[in-house]
Structure 1
Amino acid sequence: MAHTLHGHLFSPRPLTTIHGGSGLNTPSASETNLPFSRPHTPYKELVIGFAGLGAMGYPMARNMITKVASPMIQHPVRVWNRSKDKAENLAKETGAGNVKIVEKPDDLALECDIIITNLANDDVVKSIYQQFAAALKDSQSTKNKIFVETSTIYPTLAGELDTLISSVPHAHLVMAPVFGAPPVAEAGQLIVVMAGDYRSKKEVAHLMVPAMGRKVIDLGGNLEKAPTFKLIGNSLILGSLEILAEGFTLAEKSGIQPTQFHSLVKDLMPAPILDAYANKMVHDLFDGTKGFAIDGGIKDSTHIRKLAAEVNSPMPALDSAHQHLLTARALHDSKKIRGQQVFETLDWSSIVAGTRVASGLDGFDSKKHANVGPVPE
């Protein structure tokens, strides 16, 4: 007997899984990190759309195209990006027939069953979703749609997006922000946080893991919970960057070699993310095109501080981190005006420039203040 889910026709689940499981009683490794059972294999392949091919969106879309095979999705995957060159690069990289570049976001809403978005900021997200909703209303579409928003946004915007999407018959919204910098997205190791309609989450989760991510955390039906959780998680990362930056600056001012402090970080707190950011600070590796850009960090810290103020939860470490990010960006902008910048865009590990300058050191070139501390006896 066939079954329906969101209007798609599904055949009973086969004895083997798409991700290589040996049978119904032997879940794949990815399934152990999913809070949902596997949906039935679709009789009709799903048409997938992707909006936003930035530092995170590009590898996420590429992994979706190259790692999810039939019978789950139909190729070509539809993609839209504000600058068309990134979409063209993706088409070349993934091969002929795997990507269809659409001219406007409306086309994704009209042509696709599932539309995934990863966009720069709240204003862009709201604008794109307004276009989605308007296009579907104008077309009087009756097809089932799932919209999956993976950006980092302020929680109340999730409610606004829900109002837009729920005004369209048979359309559902899943909030699914992701944890991980671009290299993590490249490796398909993101952590996905989901909130929204249960059946929609179930269908989307098995597309995103293991192609894009390694784990899904389900926060229930309240859409605002997912972006809230994402901001709390980012506060943990940003607060850790602030402590690292302060520690490295104190070490240099005290005559301790940064490499020695870095070694202590690895021994005392052996977390890969701390090691990676500590290494960037030690070697002044502040290239935002290979990491998390500082503009995104300042956007996130602004959201976190706003949320903290609304719920009366002081976060003094985040206040300091925010100021040091602003300082780093201001220094970089000044260098760009003079044509002296090393990187076009800063990574948010450049927060250490803020603590350095506050201590009288050079913000971006640690070689200029080697051994500035007290001379050892």
Structure 2
Amino acid sequence: MAKVAFIGLGVMGYPMARHLAAKGHEVTVYNRTGAKAERWVSEFGGRAAPTPAEAARGQEFVFACVGNDDDLRQVTLGADGAFGAMEKGAVFVDHTTASAGIARELAAAADGFDVIDAPVSGGQAGAENGVLTVMCGGEAAPFARAEPVMAAYARATRLLGPAGSGQLAKMMNQICIAGAVQGLAEAIHFGKQAGLDIEAVIDTISKGAAQSWQMENRYKTMNEGKFDFGFAVDWMRKDLSIVLGEARSNGSTLPVTALVDQFYADVQTMGGGRWDTSSLLARLERKG
């Protein structure tokens, strides 16, 4: 069992830290809203720290899951940031979905400790159930040390290359999801317009080459017009902004991803910024 800190107790971090405590690790938590950290401690034990630095001091592993590059830079390199208090030989594991640039910046800033960029896939349900997929960038030795600890909330964890590789892999993940959700939304919209029994059709085509996680897990609620759960449109647009920025940098051409990003902008205009990403169907139905 390890001494660990977890920085950021949002919809993902809160249950991820819980899984660490449940596995017997000694957990210290930090959250920008201190009351939430105190609530976590009242439920699961451990200790709440007043700053990221205090959370990181004396820990073997420091995990973070915050909002974006700026938040990440603040809790690591800012005043009272974790990097100023990290122990020699410790490992910082960042689960934030952020840019590859900030991952490389943090790896370069580490002094006597190691950094793994480790964005996750699986959403809130994956975090709650401890079955996340973790895509990692960094060096092999610290990854090997951190992997058994991450297993508390991960179903699959893989090192994919040097610093930044985890974030780049997460970008590929979001590119795939954007296209899959738009395709499913269009198929359901088309089927409704054609007067087909959507449930019967999906039950049939999901047995073939059209099958996807999105189809299996989202078609029923999409068909019922229920979008008040899951991964929010606002978050997806943040992720796609990172993807499109990286594409401009590396010369990738992502026409479908750019188009779906604009479709999500339409959903935001409709007031659906906090709707689940499957709400692309609502846009089609309104336009129809």
Alignment of 1:179 onto 2:116: no
Distance 2:199 2:236 in 1: 25
How far has the Cα of 1:329 moved from its partner?
Answer: 1.4
Distance 1:103 1:142 in 2: 18
Q: Find the partner of 2:59 among 112, 132, 141.
A: 112
Whether the aligned pair in 2 keeps the contact of 1:287 and 1:346 (CA below 8 Å) is yes
Q: Find the partner of 1:237 among 168, 177, 183.
A: 177
Q: Taking structure 2 as the reference length, what is the TM-score of the superposition? A: 0.91
1:4 aligns to what?
Answer: none
- The amino acid of 2:70's aligned partner reads D
Residues 284 and 86 (structure 1), Cα distance of their counterparts in 2 relative to 1, 3 Å cut: farther
- The amino acid of 1:317's aligned partner reads V
Q: Find the partner of 1:163 among 101, 108, 113.
A: 108
1:312 aligns to what?
Answer: 251
Q: Find the partner of 2:30 among 58, 61, 80.
A: 80
Q: Give SS of 2:275's match.
A: coil
Q: Give SS of 1:111's match.
A: coil
Q: Give SS of 2:11's match.
A: coil
Alignment of 1:348 onto 2:277: yes
Q: Find the partner of 1:149 among 94, 101, 105.
A: 94
- Corresponding pairs, count: 287
How far has the Cα of 1:51 moved from its partner?
Answer: 0.6
Q: Give SS of 1:115's match.
A: strand
- The amino acid of 2:117's aligned partner reads M
After TM superposition, list the pairs within 5 Å mapping 1:208-357 onto structure 2: 208-209=150-151, 211-220=152-161, 222-268=162-208, 269-288=210-229, 291-332=230-271, 345-357=274-286
How far has the Cα of 1:272 moved from its partner?
Answer: 3.9
Whether the aligned pair in 1 keeps the contact of 2:191 and 2:197 (CA below 8 Å) is yes
Distance 1:83 1:317 in 2: 38
Distance 2:79 2:140 in 1: 22
How far has the Cα of 1:349 moved from its partner?
Answer: 1.4
How far has the Cα of 1:263 moved from its partner?
Answer: 2.5
Distance 1:228 1:263 in 2: 34
Residues 174 and 253 (structure 1), Cα distance of their counterparts in 2 relative to 1, 3 Å cut: same
How far has the Cα of 1:116 moved from its partner?
Answer: 0.2
Q: Taking structure 1 as the reference length, what is the TM-score of the superposition? A: 0.71
Alignment of 1:131 onto 2:78: yes
Distance 2:165 2:251 in 1: 18
Q: Give SS of 2:43's match.
A: helix
RMSD: 2.2
- The amino acid of 1:144's aligned partner reads G
How far has the Cα of 1:264 moved from its partner?
Answer: 3.7
Q: Give SS of 2:137's match.
A: strand
- The amino acid of 1:310's aligned partner reads S
Gaps of 5+ in 1: 1-44, 334-343, 360-377
How far has the Cα of 1:132 moved from its partner?
Answer: 7.6
Residues 253 and 273 (structure 1), Cα distance of their counterparts in 2 relative to 1, 3 Å cut: closer
- The amino acid of 2:39's aligned partner reads N
Whether the aligned pair in 2 keeps the contact of 1:105 and 1:132 (CA below 8 Å) is no
Percent of paired sites with the same residue: 25
**Which 4+ residue blocks in structure 1 deviate beyond 4 angstroms?**
132-137
Q: Give SS of 2:168's match.
A: helix
Whether the aligned pair in 2 keeps the contact of 1:81 and 1:87 (CA below 8 Å) is yes
Distance 1:194 1:122 in 2: 17
Alignment of 1:60 onto 2:16: yes
Residues 202 and 135 (structure 1), Cα distance of their counterparts in 2 relative to 1, 3 Å cut: closer
Q: Give SS of 1:216's match.
A: strand
Residues 318 and 111 (structure 1), Cα distance of their counterparts in 2 relative to 1, 3 Å cut: same
**What's the CA shift string for 1:142-176, capped at 9, x where partnerless?**
633211001111111111112322xx2x2110111
2:133 aligns to what?
Answer: 191
